[in-house]
Amino acid sequence: MKTLDDLIADGVQDRFVLLRADFNVPLDGFTITDDGRIQAALPTITKLVGAGAKLVIAAHLGRPKGGEPGGRDPKMSLTPVAGRLGQLLDQRVRLADDVVGYSASANTERIDKGEIAMLANVRCDPRETGSPQEREQLASELAALVPGGAFVSDGFGVVHREQASVVDVARKLPAYAGDLVARETEVLRRLVGDPARPYVVILGGSKVSDKLGVLSNLLPKVDKLLVGGAMCFTFLAAQGHDVGGSKLESDQIDTCKDLLSRYADTLVLPTDVVVASEFAEDAQTRTVGVSDMPEGWLGLDVGPQTVELFGSHLTDAATVFWNGPMGVFEMAPFAAGTTGVAEAVADSPAFSVIGGGDSASAIRAAGLDESRFGHISTGGGASLEFLEGQVLPGIAVLEEGA
């Protein structure tokens, strides 16, 4: 696929460029609580602005339903994003009131080389996720905003989505991969190709069913797969343990039994867990062995012995991939497992890849230096689908035009 460097070599001085970014950041009201995805887009944006492009950014926030006429939803406005991006770049970012309407057209026409306009939350236009015909119509209108322009795909967190601003517009304009998408693709191909060994994967999160595809695809390829998070309780139940009131997918127990029987030497499960009397930050808590869970109590984190066990598999690892927290890290009493594993990954000599989503947020919440990790992905779902072996539409369409 063609890259941002190819586009700049072709020339972008005084030329429109439509950039699809992933600015789906967490908000507390109108305050951004983690600007990691905005920071990750800066290299591509600064390259384009520095080369004299007239930059138009399309991005989404949340999953708006309905909204006001013209593609607006006050609760999911990109206003905080435009403000933060402007701060980071020390320049004004013009935010339109609509996606492809009068305001978008007026803002786009008004920018000069090296300046930036941002469209309203693209998912506020229902055609973004609509039928193929609706998506193509929106893509045509997006392309019309940037006459003679090019398209740069740099929102890795959405490349697994068949959406107008991700796939269809790439067929309307000369299309290129931004630095972020190119780097993410390169790193993940390294993981599914011939990674340096030992290769260790850490999976957490709430449901086995959500990770079944990646489990099935990776287990034959990795040296160790460490299981934490709420999903570990379904595996523990499959081993015959009473998991109390912990989250349990009863319909996945037989699947877990099968995986445990086939990959007994590969799968590593917790040996102790932090349990609570209820799902609350001020609940009573205990750390117990996995065979000693109190009746009715909930497992909400892995225990210190498990952190040590998992860490022992990372000390001589050459490649590590981690996706999913070890517990309910948003609550202080249940954050130690995730933080401990994050520190163990950071201390490992391995090339480490953090699979986006909550794992990336947990690293930032723990205050760990991101340079201690080989790569922190911006796309949890996209990363997992890539590792499952699925075709990502937003990558495939870039390869079509190579």
CATH number of the CATH domain containing 319: 3.40.50.1260
Do both 127 and 198 map to the same domain? no
The pLDDT tens digits for 69-117 are: 344 556 789 999 999 999 999 999 999 999 999 999 999 999 999 999 9
Q: Which of 134, 151, 182 is the last residue of a domain?
A: 182
Q: Percent of the chain beyond pLDDT 90?
A: 82
Contact by Cβ (8 Å): 108, 117: yes
363: pLDDT strictly greater than 90? no
Catalytic residue among 157, 357, 379, 394: 357
Residues 212 and 232: their CA atoms lie apart, in Å, by 13
Same domain, 228 and 350: yes
Name the token pair of 165. Answer: 């601003």
pLDDT in the model for residue 69 = 39
Residue 75: what pLDDT?
Answer: 73
Please tell me whether 212 is known to bind a ligand: no
Q: Is there a domain that residue 395 lies in?
A: no
pLDDT (mean) for 325-352: 94
Percent share of the chain, pLDDT over 70: 97
**Does residue 330 have a known ligand-binding role?**
yes
66 is in an annotated binding site: no
Task: Examine residue 189 and state whether it is found in any structural domain, yes or no.
Answer: no
Q: Which residues contact 246 (CB under 8 A, 6 or more apart)?
A: 230, 233, 275, 293, 297, 298, 299
Asked if 223 contacts 200 with a C-beta cutoff of 8 angstroms, the reply is yes
Asked if pLDDT for residue 297 goes beyond 60, the answer is yes
Q: How far is CA 308 from CA 73, 124, 305, 340, 368, in A?
A: 47, 46, 5, 8, 18
Whether 121 is covered by a domain: the verdict is yes
- The mean pLDDT of 262-273, rounded to a whole number, is 97
Statement: residue 368 has pLDDT above 80? yes
23 annotated as belonging to a binding site for a ligand = yes
Contact assessment for residue 127 and residue 135, using Cβ atoms and an 8 Å cutoff: yes
22 is an annotated ligand-binding site residue:
yes
Annotated ligand binding at 241? The verdict is: no
Q: What is the pLDDT of residue 125?
A: 93
Which of the residue ranges 31-45, 277-291, 373-387 would you say has the lowest mean pLDDT?
373-387
Inside any domain, residue 27 = yes
* Pairwise CA distance, residues 40 & 378, whole Å: 8
Of these residues, 15, 20, 37, 127, which one is catalytic?
37
Question: Is 357 marked as a binding-site residue?
Answer: yes
Last residue of a domain, one of 133, 158, 182: 182
Query: Is the per-residue pLDDT at 340 higher than 80?
Result: yes
| 328, 273 contact by CB (below 8 A) | no
Number of domain units in the chain: 2
- 285 forms bridges with which residues in the sheet? 276
Q: Is 114 a catalytic residue?
A: no
Mean pLDDT to the nearest integer, 305-331: 95
Are 128 and 69 contained in the same domain?
yes
Q: Please, which pLDDT band fits residue 64 given cuts at 50, 70 and 90?
A: confident
Q: Is 381 a catalytic residue?
A: yes
Provide the token pair at 32: 């951004």
Mean pLDDT, range 313-332, rounded to an integer = 94
Which listed residue (213, 374, 381, 401) is catalytic? 381
Mean of the per-residue pLDDT values of the chain: 93
pLDDT at 402 over 60: no
What pLDDT score was predicted for residue 68? 42
Identify whether residues 232 and 300 lie together within a single domain. Answer: yes
Residues 198 and 177 in one domain: no
The pLDDT of residue 401 is above 70: no
Top-confidence residue, 205 or 118:
118
Q: Is 69 in contact with 88 (CB distance < 8 Å)?
A: no
- In the prediction, which pLDDT does 67 show? 45
Residue 65: pLDDT band with limits 50, 70, 90: low
Residues 6+ apart with CB under 8 A from 193: none
Find the domain containing 241 and state its range: 194-387
Mean pLDDT of 221-227: 97
The distance from CA 175 to its chain's CA centroid, rounded to whole angstroms, is 22
User: How are strands ordered across the β-sheet holding 375-376?
Assistant: 267-268, 224-227, 199-203, 319-323, 351-354, 375-376
Q: Is 221 annotated in some ligand binding site?
A: no
